[in-house]
Amino acid sequence: MEKEEIRSPDLDYVRDMVRTRSAIVLEPEKAYLVESRLSPLAKKEGLASIAELVEKLRSTPYGALHSKVIEAMTTNETSFFRDLVPFEVLREQILPEIIARKGTSKRLNMWCGASSSGQEPYSVMFTIFEHFPELKDWVIQYFATDISEEMLTKCREGKYSQLEVNRGLPASMLTKYFVKKGMGWQVQEDIRSRIDFKPMNLAGTWLTFPPMDLVFIRNVMIYFDMDTKKQILGNVRKILDPDGYLFLGGSETTLNLDNEYERVAVSGTSCYRVKKG
Ligand SMILES: C[S@@+](CC[C@H](N)C(=O)[O-])C[C@H]1O[C@@H](n2cnc3c(N)ncnc32)[C@H](O)[C@@H]1O
């Protein structure tokens, strides 16, 4: 079958709808990406073509089909202990500091703002279980959110293929924190139940969070424009505990976006705090 090329007005409509609803910027030259993502979706929805899919989007009020298009346009690339260094810094420096500081209240609040299929929040949980058993007695509120319902379902199930666990997960953790499920693996219930997975659009209305000790918004702001990045960083400041930490992705920064943050002086990681005074 010949590959369908998206018509220019249809591409404009999709780019505009995706940007308005999710802040994801699709450059015009990304037509091939839109085609490769929407063609299978049109088929799945029983529609003959991308043109028919866009026609349906145009003629119906914003709803489930529009959400599916946005989900199809998200990039969900992730892996366990992605980039490694941030997790080492967490283990060697940041969690010991938080534990010493909050040893009386014994409360830890964390949020992962673009959890994708769950590898990132689970990596944080494995770090805690592996190295800080004392935290098991703390009241830990751990939220993990994403715009994609499909990804959140995967997060809640915590099921991963052999290929997925081969990416970044130490073998010792696989045997300790997973159970074998058919051809793949599932994160143990005790760990899964400690994370509250919820839908949230970073460019929409935010959930109400308690003051956060640790916020992870990694490898998602790269898809947004400057104004959206500024707005998100401003919102994070409002929910971050004055002594809390924000982790961004390796290629992301607060620089030239929000002067209220300062970089934590550890090499190889994009970790920030709000400036004091
Ligand atoms: C590339 S993944 C990053 C996953 C993980 N944080 C990591 O670093 O490995 C980007 C995730 O951001 C989510 N996303 C994209 N736009 C979003 C938005 N406006 N609000 C919330 N999540 C969004 C996507 O669904 C996707 O799961």
At 20-64, the pLDDT tens digits run 999 999 999 999 999 999 999 999 999 999 999 999 999 999 999
- Kindly report, as residue ranges, where domains of CATH 1.10.155.10 are found in the chain: 8-73
Residue to probe by mutation, ligand 1, list 20, 25, 147, most atoms within 8 Å of CB = 147
CA-to-CA dists, residue 38 to 50, 119, 132, angstroms: 6, 26, 44
Superfamily of domain 85-274: Vaccinia Virus protein VP39 (3.40.50.150)
Strand order in the sheet with 261-263: 196-199, 139-146, 107-112, 212-217, 240-248, 271-274, 261-263
Whether ligand 1 lies within 6 angstroms of the CB of 228 is answered as no
Give nearest CA residue, ligand 1 atom 27.
116
pLDDT-derived band of residue 1, with 50, 70 and 90 as boundaries?
low
Token couple for 13: 């409509």
Whether ligand 1 lies within 6 angstroms of the CB of 269 is answered as no
DSSP state of 103: T
Supply the pLDDT for residue 191: 96
Question: What separation in Å is there between the alpha carbon of 47 and the centre of ligand 1?
Answer: 27
Give the pLDDT mean for 243-258: 96
Are 154 and 75 in contact, with CB atoms under 8 Å apart?
Answer: no
- Kindly report, as residue ranges, where domains of CATH 3.40.50.150 are found in the chain: 85-274
End-to-end CA distance of the chain: 63
Question: What separation in Å is there between the alpha carbon of 225 and the centre of ligand 1?
Answer: 15
Return the ligand 1 atom nearest residue 200 CA.
21
For residue 3, pLDDT over 90 is answered with: no
Whether ligand 1 lies within 6 angstroms of the CB of 154 is answered as no
Fold held by 8-73: Chemotaxis Receptor Methyltransferase Cher; domain 1 (1.10.155)
Whether ligand 1 lies within 6 angstroms of the CB of 147 is answered as yes
User: Strand locations in the chain, DSSP E?
Assistant: 107-112, 139-146, 159-160, 178-181, 184-187, 196-199, 212-217, 240-248, 261-263, 271-274
Residue holding tokens 């690339």? 77
- Centre a 10 Å sphere on the Cβ of residue 102 and count the other Cβ atoms it contains: 16
Give the pLDDT mean for 106-119: 98
% of the chain beyond a pLDDT of 90: 95
Give the pLDDT mean for 70-86: 97
pLDDT-derived band of residue 185, with 50, 70 and 90 as boundaries?
very high
- For the chain, what is the mean pLDDT? 96
Return the ligand 1 atom nearest residue 216 CA.
6
Cα–Cα distance measured from residue 193 to residue 61, given in angstroms and rounded to the nearest whole number: 36
Alpha helices for 60-210 (secondary structure H): 64-73, 85-89, 95-101, 119-131, 149-157, 162-166, 171-177, 189-192
For residue 2, pLDDT over 80 is answered with: no
Are 253 and 221 in contact, with CB atoms under 8 Å apart?
Answer: no
pTM for this predicted structure? 0.96
% of the chain beyond a pLDDT of 70: 99
